[in-house]
Amino acid sequence: PQPRRQRFYPSQTTMTQRISLTRYLVEQQRVHGLLPGDLRLLLEVVARACKRISQAVNKGDLGDVMGAATTENVQGEIQKKLDIIANEVLIEANEWGGHLAAMASEEMEDIYVVPNRFPQGEYLLMFDPLDGSSNIDVNVSIGTIFSVLKKGHDNPNAIEPVSQQDFLQPGSQQVAAGYCVYGPQTTLVLTVGDGVAMFTLDREQGSFVLTKEHVQIPADTKEFSINMSNMRHWDEPVQRYVNECLAGKEGPRGKDFNMRWVASMVADVHRILTRGGIFLYPWDKREPEKAGKLRLMYEANPMSWLVEQAGGAATNGRQRILDIQPGKLHERVSVMMGSKNEVDRVTSYHSTL
Ligand code: AHG
Ligand code: MN
Ligand code: MN
């Protein structure tokens, strides 16, 4: 593990002296030299957009935000009104600042190139504007997931107009990633490659306040997270892994496991970052030509980087997710992430086939 860098706060600074997201980002930029100014602006803007989405979410039936829209997205899923609202909020917030070249979203077929009337920057922003759509109408936690890449990372002199091709970089190239969970609290979770930090939205102040730093996922766990209703469709290694968990104390694992499934990846991964666990959405036989349900660029990559930054692991059963070279923007992937020893175990079951 990397040594923790000394934080440059006056010695009397404690968590009771509140550190805003803005201050955290300024410190990352000034002290750690980790954060170029444009990236800092980008993250501030994304956080502001998340605040607006949080407000819309909170309105519930009092606003025109609940229920289905009349449209389908590129994956053929019926969109919810909040999917569309959140997508628009993120685009409107980010298009004018000069920090971005283009955006890509789970809800849009093509990339959204920053219009000519605004200056273009060098960053690429990807997002799942509203994760856990099926939970909107039942008042269960949902969220926004985002990932940031740099345009032309392998060819910095490229002057060609931005295209989908620029987005097709492995997750290991991310320069920032995070999510915002809209639950009992609104919490923004972020990495810029220096560990994971969590910020709670203070609604009175209207700002995100640092509430946890150096988040660590315990290597062992007794909690797994998977949609059990799909069990009969899974591959043998995943069946074996879950069956061994279900066998409990009397089984080969020698301990009882608990199970949780929120059906919002943000909420399930947030729990894992908070107290450990393993999250799986594996490939299954229902649609064998699909690599998985979750999307590599908007869900798996940002979450994998956060999990790794917190000491956990993330694979597709055979390979580290962050090493996957995407072939297309809306690519899907099999996902296993969380407590390291559990992810290593289920991954090793795949290689013994
Ligand atoms: P989205 O709402 O962005 O389409 O994502 C939903 C995803 C993920 O958040 C969650 O883990 C999973 O779908 C739930 O799937 P099931 O309904 O199959 O359990
Ligand atoms: Mn999602
Ligand atoms: Mn979504």
Atom of ligand 1 lying closest to residue 131 CA: 3
Atom of ligand 1 lying closest to residue 106 CA: 3
Ligand nearest to the CA of 293: 1
Alpha helices in 174-286 (DSSP H): 236-246, 265-275
Span from the CA of 167 to the centroid of ligand 3 (angstroms): 19
Ligand nearest to the CA of 86: 3
Q: Which of 103, 167, 174 is nearest to 326 (CA)?
A: 167
pLDDT at site 12:
46
Sign of the dihedral defined by the CA atoms of residues 150, 132, 227, 216, in that order: positive
The pLDDT-based confidence of 77 (bands split at 50, 70, 90) is confident
Ligand 1 atom 14: residue of nearest CA: 263
Span from the CA of 128 to the centroid of ligand 2 (angstroms): 6
| Tens-digit pLDDT profile for residues 260-313 | 999 999 999 999 999 999 999 999 999 999 999 999 999 999 999 999 999 999
Say if residue 249 is exposed, middle or buried (CB neighbours under 10 Å; 0-12, 13-18, 19+).
exposed
Span from the CA of 127 to the centroid of ligand 2 (angstroms): 9
Please choose from 53, 180, 264 the residue to mutate so as to test ligand 1's pocket, defined by most ligand atoms within 8 A of CB: 264
Atom of ligand 1 lying closest to residue 262 CA: 11
Report d(CA 154, CA 295) in Å as an integer: 23
Sign of the dihedral defined by the CA atoms of residues 296, 298, 301, 307, in that order: negative
Atom of ligand 1 lying closest to residue 75 CA: 4
Span from the CA of 50 to the centroid of ligand 1 (angstroms): 19
| Tens-digit pLDDT profile for residues 25-69 | 999 888 777 789 999 999 999 999 999 999 999 999 998 888 888
User: DSSP E strands: which ranges in 82-135?
Assistant: 100-105, 112-113, 123-131
pLDDT at site 251:
98
Report d(CA 303, CA 181) in Å as an integer: 13
The pLDDT-based confidence of 156 (bands split at 50, 70, 90) is low
> How much is the average pLDDT of 235-250?
98
Ligand 1 atom 17: residue of nearest CA: 263
Report d(CA 127, CA 134) in Å as an integer: 18
pLDDT at site 249:
98
Over 90: is that where the pLDDT of 183 sits? Answer: yes
Ligand 1 atom 11: residue of nearest CA: 265
Ligand 1 atom 16: residue of nearest CA: 263
The CA–CA distances, whole Å, from 74 to 71, 82, 105, 107, 281 equal: 10, 16, 10, 7, 20
| Tens-digit pLDDT profile for residues 90-143 | 999 999 999 999 999 999 999 999 999 999 999 999 999 999 999 999 999 999
Please choose from 265, 272, 280 the residue to mutate so as to test ligand 1's pocket, defined by most ligand atoms within 8 A of CB: 265
Q: Which residues line ligand 1 (CB under 6 A)?
A: 106, 128, 131-134, 227, 263-265, 281, 293
pLDDT at site 54:
97
pLDDT at site 152:
81
SS in 3 state form for 168-179? CCCHHHCCEEEE
Atom of ligand 1 lying closest to residue 134 CA: 2
* Per-residue tokens: 195: 């560990």
Beta bridge partner(s), residue 187: 181, 200
CA end-to-end span of the chain: 32
Q: Which position has the higher pLDDT, 81 or 8?
A: 81
pLDDT at site 350:
96
φ and ψ at residue 342, rounded to 5 degrees:
-75, -45
Please choose from 293, 296, 334 the residue to mutate so as to test ligand 1's pocket, defined by most ligand atoms within 8 A of CB: 293
Span from the CA of 348 to the centroid of ligand 1 (angstroms): 26
Q: Put residue 110 in one of left, alpha, beta given phi > 0 → left and psi -120 to 50 → alpha.
A: beta
Ligand nearest to the CA of 129: 3
Ligand nearest to the CA of 133: 1
Report d(CA 145, CA 182) in Å as an integer: 11
Task: Please name the amino acid found at residue 11.
Answer: S
Please choose from 80, 108, 227 the residue to mutate so as to test ligand 1's pocket, defined by most ligand atoms within 8 A of CB: 227
pLDDT at site 11:
46
Ligand 1 atom 18: residue of nearest CA: 227
pLDDT at site 34:
74
Contact criterion met (CB below 8 Å) for 100 and 81 = no
pLDDT at site 115:
95
Ligand 1 atom 3: residue of nearest CA: 131
